[in-house]
Amino acid sequence: MPATPKRVAIVATVYRHWSHVDVLAGKILEGFLYDGGEKPALEVASMFVDQIPANDLSRPMAKRFGYRVSPTIADALTLGTGKLAVDGVLIIGEHGIYPTNDVGQILYPRRRLLAEVCDVFEQAKRSVPVFHDKHLGPTWTDAKWMAERVRALHVPFLAGSSVPLTWRKPVVNLEKGAKLTHAFGMGYGPLEGYGFHALEMFQSMVERRSGGEVGVQAVQYLSGPDMWKPIDQDAPTRALFERTRKLVTGHAPGDIREITAKTTDAGLFVIEYRDGFRGIVMMPNGWVYEGDGGAFLFAGQLANQPEPLACQFWLQNYDPFAHFSYLLQAIEKLIHTGQPGYPFERTLLTSGILDGLMRSRHQQNRRIETPELAIRYQPTNYPFATDPIPPAVQRKKLIP
């Protein structure tokens, strides 16, 4: 990247230690390894945060690094000049205290944050690149509105999870046009928050199948004894499940079926694609836990290949959280070039899949048809992490 930094505004819900603002914007401020060393060619010019808890870092870090603390999103983008004055925007609407709806979705104000950013663009009659962390909105209504808004304003836009960009153990790289016949994913954690990461990981692989992505026609959440039916009734899927289970680095002792049967948020995501492909993602909560590098895993079967391929998407769950460095490099590329490294339609699709699955769960595991998810796109060859994994670091005291 060019040596001259681009100025960015951070628009966030909250900034505290180990929040997504910390592991992204913190690296712009302190360096990839939080040691004042190598950092992206970006400069935090301003920051707006929606909530200021007792452990807020936005104010003390502003005193330390000199960025503008903005009372409004418009001020963060204009730097108080009344005119658009930054080169890019990072919207990080994760963490904070917000209500949860009946479906189980945390109502982060992501649509509101993006709407206010886009209002500034519309007034300025020009846009700058925007990165949006995690899924668009909590609901499909929000996600669709957000996608339509950035398209209308021709915003260079990137969104999604850090998981597709992290290390893969062992390295598995599907070629575009891969003749994928079956695919299985595994994740862990809160069904909405971490289920999204599992879907992004899974989609980053299956979008590479022959024909590219064509969208999803239906989804279903399964739990209890029903979550095992797609595995027991299909030998190739069962083989992928067994292959994936062998790669899990941390799990509870005991039988996975017995343990997940007693766990209220253990379940299976069934994804029916419009080209006839079927995807299965398991969230065996209660049995699986973070272990060494987390528990996001993928297995796939290629036509005319005797054995499935499988890998763990390895996460560094301690400082410096280096997998976020690779997401930050994608953000850096976006802001310097105006070109996203991979299509935001992936995250639009996973946002819709997740919304459908949460509604399926809320409606007693009913199959949900999703004609709105006829989303087509072609994958890119954006690289994932292959560099040596940096060691853990001891950060300086964040608040003097």
Query: Which DSSP state fits 334?
Result: H
Please give the helix or strand (H or E) that residue 282 lies within, else none: strand 278-283
Residues 281-322 pLDDT 10s: 999 999 998 888 999 999 999 998 999 999 999 999 999 999
Indicate the Cα dihedral angle 228, 138, 57, 121, nearest 10°.
140
The mean per-residue pLDDT over the stretch 61-73 comes to 97
Q: How far is CA 101 from CA 107, 179, 360, 362, in A?
A: 7, 40, 14, 11
In this structure, are residues 248 and 400 in contact, taking their beta carbons and an 8 Å threshold?
no
Calpha distance 186→330 (Å, rounded) = 25
pLDDT exceeds cutoff 60 at 127: yes
Residue among 228, 271, 265, 261 nearest 362 (CA)? 265
**Residues 6 or more apart in contact with residue 389 via CB below 8 angstroms:** 167, 314, 316, 322
Q: Is 68 helix (H, G, I), strand (E, B) or coil?
A: strand
What's the confidence (pLDDT) of residue 395?
85
> Tens of pLDDT along 317-352?
999 999 999 999 999 999 999 999 999 999 999 999
Class of domain 6-160 as given by CATH:
alpha beta
Question: What gap in Å lies between CA 135 and CA 186, rounded to an integer?
Answer: 18
Per-chain mean pLDDT for the chain: 96
pLDDT of residue 361: 98
What CA–CA distances, in Å, run from 156 to 24, 76, 93, 130, 301?
A: 19, 19, 19, 6, 35
Q: Residue 111 in 3-state DSSP?
A: helix
pLDDT 10s digits, 233-257: 999 999 999 999 999 999 999 999 9
Is residue 281 within 8 A of residue 247, CB to CB? The reply is: no
pLDDT score at 291: 83
* pTM of the predicted protein model: 0.97
Assess contact for 110 and 117: CB atoms under 8 A.
no
Q: Classify burial at 106, counting beta carbons within 10 Å of its beta carbon; exposed 0-12, middle 13-18, buried 19 or more.
A: middle
- Is pLDDT above 60 for 139? yes
pLDDT of residue 396 exceeding 80: no
pLDDT given at position 304: 87
355 neighbors 195 (Cβ within 8 angstroms): no
* 263 pLDDT tier (thresholds 50, 70, 90): very high
pLDDT at res. 400: 57
* Domain ranges across the chain: 6-160, 165-314
Residue pLDDT, tens place only, 176-219: 999 999 999 999 999 999 999 999 999 999 999 999 999 999 99
